[in-house]
Amino acid sequence: MTDFAIDRRIIDRSKSTESAKRVLEHIQKGNRKALIVMATGTGKTRVAMAIIDVLLKANWAQKILFLADRRALRKQACDDGFKRFFPEEAKSMIHSGVFNRNSRLYASTIQTFMEIYNQKDSSGKYMISPGEFDVIISDEAHRSIYNKWKDVFTYLDGIQIGLTATPADFIERDTFRFFGCENKVATALYDYEEAVRDGVLCDFRKNISGARTHFQIEGIKTPDLPVGEINRLSGEGIDPYEINFEGTDLEKKVAVKGTSEAIAREFMDNCLVDQSGNLPAKTIVFAISKMHAKRLWEAFERLYPEHKGRLTRVIVSEDPRAQASIKEFKEESLPRVAISVDMLDTGIDVPEVCNLVFAKPVFSRIKFWQMLGRGTRSDDACRHKDWLPDGKKVYFKVFDFWDNFEYWDMHPEGDQKESGEAITNRIFLIRLRQLEHCLNTGDVEKAEGIKKKLLEDIASLPKDSVSVRESLRDVEKALSPKLWDNVGLDPVEFLKKKITPLMRFKQDVNLNEAFFTLKCEKLGVAILHGNREEVERLKPMIGEMVDCLPEELNVIKPKLAFKEKVLSNRFWENISFGDSQMLISELAKLMKYMASEPRKTIVLDMDDMIQQRKLIEFGPDAKQEYVKVYKEKVEDRIKKLADEHPAILKIKNDEALTESDLHDLELTLNNPELYITEDVLQKVYAQNKGTLVQFVKNILGLYKFPDPAVRIKDAFDTYIIENSRHYNADQLNFIRTV
């Protein structure tokens, strides 16, 4: 098989050729599985087509299935892959309930394939046999796909090749194992760093513009409101003296028109522009919600009337013109700025994109990386050179208005630990945790209620499903009352191991209802364990979903009183396990009517301004550099001096510095390249009391600046101790509470 040359019409890059050859050699050695990890834009789909080409020519495969997780990727595989490189071969896209046995090349979404591989034909045989395909290629084979659809890959006997653009560090060990890759080493790897070095992809890491507005940092309180807004709110029945929002509430509970304008202005003043210098280069803005996208669009329209109706376009899935708008954004000069909610986060390929604007926080590191991938395509892939800065794409720029990069530096695992488990599996597992706790504490009444829900879950499994039918004995055992009387068997462990994996096959699952149920069941666990911190974390998530129930619908009206109760603080003060279950019984079924946004977002017409930029000015000419880049240069410089500069050697050995030593250190650091001074370091490290020696020690790992919260607490404690004779106990308690 390896005697066949890689077709240069399909791939013409050396690394792509190497990747294809590596997989083919791996298969020829008798391996049945392989995993290809290639950064977005490096051509993993073409590598797959080159592998298919050799397999067909060598007669190693007669029928090949390409599985994708989205329709757009299915269409791309069929149109840009099969039709382009295999025009003579019979090919088809698999649609719901339709399977043409006479083709050789098939493209399907994995969701559609899940529907048909369980179906029978008129003779009672299954439409898809385990040996139906010689090769199965799975696009985006990271953990979430592997966990949700594992049974499809287990059912099919053919050679299986996984493709993913997810960085190898983010891929779960189980996924590597599934594709036969030990020690988390992919069969073929082409990562972002190597692709940037090769000039195949563009870099952004020295072009991150971080900025935040006043209200993002400080939040919004009543004193911030202009008189006109106070009067307007009062007239609308809103108490202006209860306005008290955190910066993180922006575009959720409250929206400020001036914030959208500040973001638009900051972008237009600093973005990469096209060859003419008059218009922004192609740009994607990631917005929080549809209404947020609309407010950003309105801000551009107000501030830049000369481009009215042409420069920006809102692209959201609910718009029937969305696909036409995407095509226009890709192929036409205008619009230049696409403002989107989720729709352009992944999958879209517009090589000319030179600006990405994060006007939203992102709490999934895989998704964050995929979003950054929208800008990585290199100059070679760009057809419209006049849309590019100086007619060439050298790098792309990222505007981060929500401190996403800082967040991922501090929380590499993310706020919401990603789980590839199907949501129905997760609900079942959470209920098992509840049951286990109640059995251990002897709470029989709660245990019986939880057991009843678990049995309902098990009874709802589709018995005709291939995967469920293979485990039918376990299902029947789980439904038998004898399970709970079996002394030699732990029923919870049995259900966890044997039944949980089957829950993914539950039918007619509404995602909104399931997500709400999951959050409420997690709330139940937190209440049982007395975890108040977790209750407080879940409160806004559940409240936001409840707030999105549209009050004008007849089906919602009988529950309005309960809805208001849930949205009140009193409901949460002494919330019980029974309350968490009532949330599910009263509201979960209604979540299918949930609007995409809460109706009660308060919109304030007031100015906002950029208060913080991630740029540092240094030197006599006020040179500017991104803080992160400048900080790296400073730390690199000081570490290089660590073994040769006399003053730094003294600092390392904890010896006292003389005035002369300190002066010599200041002269060395304050050179024309970086102009490192104590003042500049105080700004870079946000330590306005730090000394030059402390900064050097910190960089060398010899000193750690105290946490600001600890400093404030220590200052309060000192104040209370020194002034205790002036206050009684209640007054001291009030000061401590403040």
Decide: helix, strand or coil at residue 66: strand
- At 112-123, the pLDDT tens digits run 888 787 777 777
- At 161-183, the pLDDT tens digits run 999 988 888 777 778 888 889 88
409: left (phi over 0), alpha (psi -120 to 50) or beta: alpha
CB atoms within 10 A of CB 542: 21
pLDDT of 53: 97
pLDDT of 651: 94
> Closest by alpha carbon to 53, among 21, 75, 13, 26?
21
Q: Is the pLDDT of residue 415 over 60?
A: no
Average pLDDT score over residue span 70-98: 88
Contact (Cβ atoms closer than 8 angstroms) between residue 147 and residue 69 = no
pLDDT of 262: 97
pLDDT of 736: 54
Q: Is the pLDDT of residue 717 over 70?
A: no
Res. 619 pLDDT band, cuts 50 70 90: confident
Q: Is the pLDDT of residue 688 over 80?
A: no
**Torsion angle in degrees (nearest 10) through CA of 339, 343, 345, 348:** -100
Backbone angles phi, psi at 235, to 5 degrees: -65, -25
- At 316-348, the pLDDT tens digits run 988 999 989 999 999 999 999 999 998 898 778
Decide: helix, strand or coil at residue 288: coil
pLDDT of 89: 95
- At 512-529, the pLDDT tens digits run 999 999 999 999 999 999
Decide: helix, strand or coil at residue 458: helix
Domains identified in the chain and CATH numbers: 14-197 (3.40.50.300), 208-410 (3.40.50.300), 423-593 (no CATH), 614-699 (no CATH), 708-737 (no CATH)
Identify how many contiguous H helices and E strands the chain contains and give both numbers: 32, 20
Contact (Cβ atoms closer than 8 angstroms) between residue 618 and residue 680 = yes
- Burial tier of 537 (Cβ tally within 10 Å: 0-12, 13-18, 19+): middle
Q: Is the pLDDT of residue 291 over 80?
A: yes
pLDDT of 365: 83
- At 575-617, the pLDDT tens digits run 999 999 999 999 999 999 998 666 678 999 999 998 877 766 6
Across the chain, what does the average pLDDT equal? 88
- At 626-660, the pLDDT tens digits run 677 788 899 999 999 999 999 999 999 999 999 99
- At 30-47, the pLDDT tens digits run 999 999 999 988 999 999
- Give me 514's structure tokens: 């399931």
State in Å, rounded, how far the first CA of the chain is from the last one.
Answer: 74
222-226, 361-365, 417-421 — most confident range: 222-226
pLDDT of 268: 96
Does residue 335 have a cis peptide bond before it, meaning omega lies within 30 degrees of 0?
yes
pLDDT of 710: 59
